[in-house]
Structure 1
Amino acid sequence: MKFIVQWNGHPTVQQSAVERFMKTGGALPPDGIKMIGRWHSIGELSGCAIIESESTAPMAAWVLQWGDVFTFRISPALSDEELGAALGAHQAGQ
């Protein structure tokens, strides 16, 4: 299943977030998560990633690695095709 991961940094810890990112390269997610892509906002501590995972446990571990400097929002994601199939099934059931 795909997920949209969004994060926002706490302004008071910007320097430590920058240092950790530079040291780790952003620390790739743990086993069990395939990162499809990651993007960063310019001029602020925020961004988003699209990931794939069959379990929420690796997502929890990944968020905990950065939880002292970022807040996270993780939402299930559907492609156009997946959403179209769901909408079609819904309409057929009405």
Structure 2
Amino acid sequence: MKFIVEWNGQPSAENAVIERFMKTGGRPPDGITMLGRWHAIGGLHGFAVVEAADTGSIVAMSLEWGDLLTITIFPALTDEDLGAALGKHVAAQQ
């Protein structure tokens, strides 16, 4: 399943976030495939799209950075996934 991961950090956490990112490369935990990650310029804000087979890996990622960043995670659908779900919904309404 795919997830959208958003993060925000306070300026007071900037040095610690930089240090951890430089040390780890920001690699996700085992069980998570990073599909893409984007960082805002001039702040501790950004988002990633990741894929994981289970939510346990997602929890591990959240805990790994949760002491420094506020993290919000949403399940994500591709256009194809959404189209299939909408098709089932429309069919069930008929």
Flag whether TM exceeds 0.5 (same fold).
Answer: yes
Structure 1: how far apart are the matches of 2:32 and 2:21? 19
Identical amino acids, percent of aligned pairs: 59
Structure 2: how far apart are the matches of 1:34 and 1:2? 9
Q: Which amino acid aligns with 2:69?
A: F
Structure 1: how far apart are the matches of 2:28 and 2:8? 17
Give 1:10 shift. 2.1
Give 1:89 shift. 1.0
List structure 1 runs of 4+ shifted beyond 3 angstroms. none
3-state SS of paired residue (2:89): helix
> What's the TM-score, normalizing by structure 1?
0.92
Structure 2: how far apart are the matches of 1:84 and 1:49? 23
Give 1:53 shift. 0.7
Structure 2: how far apart are the matches of 1:25 and 1:34? 14
Structure 1: how far apart are the matches of 2:6 and 2:53? 19
Unmatched tracts of structure 1, length 5 or more? none
Supply the RMSD in Å over aligned alpha carbons. Answer: 1.0
Q: Give aligned pairs, total.
A: 93
> What's the TM-score, normalizing by structure 2?
0.92
Unmatched tracts of structure 2, length 5 or more? none
2:5 is the counterpart of 1:5:
yes
Q: Which amino acid aligns with 2:13?
A: V
Partner residue of 1:85?
84
Structure 2: how far apart are the matches of 1:3 and 1:39? 14
